Amino acid sequence: MKLVFDDLALADLEGIYNWIAKDSPKAAFAVLERLFESVEHLATFPHMGHVGRDDGTFEWVVPRLPYLVVYEIHRDRDEIIVVAVVHGAQDRGSKT
């Protein structure tokens, strides 16, 4: 399957980089590199995450990092679309 990052997910990644880069650009680069390498596994194993909070999404915790990848599987287009990358401790709001 093809792996696609939507604009909001790319903004999340930019925010993660900028936050970490305040203290260490080298560490920020390493974290993003690890995120991208890990997310690539979704193209081969799209169901390694669990059903997400929002309808039609899945969520996967990146190994050895505190980040959660939110994604959608579109079999008709043979695509995995990453819609968000959030810190595990981040308040994502509630749908009540």
The answer to the question of residue 93 being in a domain is: no
Q: Which 3 state secondary structure label does DSSP give 8?
A: helix
User: In this structure, what token pair is assigned to residue 32?
Assistant: 């993003």
The answer to the question of residue 92 being in a domain is: no
Domain count of the chain?
Answer: 1
What single string gives the DSSP state of each residue in 12-79? HHHHHHHHHHTT-HHHHHHHHHHHHHHHTHHHH-TTSSEE-SSTT-EEEEPTTSSEEEEEEEEGGGTE
pLDDT tens, residue by residue, 1-48: 999 999 999 999 999 999 999 999 999 999 999 999 999 999 999 999
pLDDT tens, residue by residue, 42-77: 999 999 999 999 999 999 999 999 999 999 999 999
The answer to the question of residue 94 being in a domain is: no
Band (pLDDT 50/70/90 cuts) for residue 94 is very low
pTM of the predicted protein model: 0.88
Q: Which CATH number characterizes residue 67's domain?
A: 3.30.2310.20
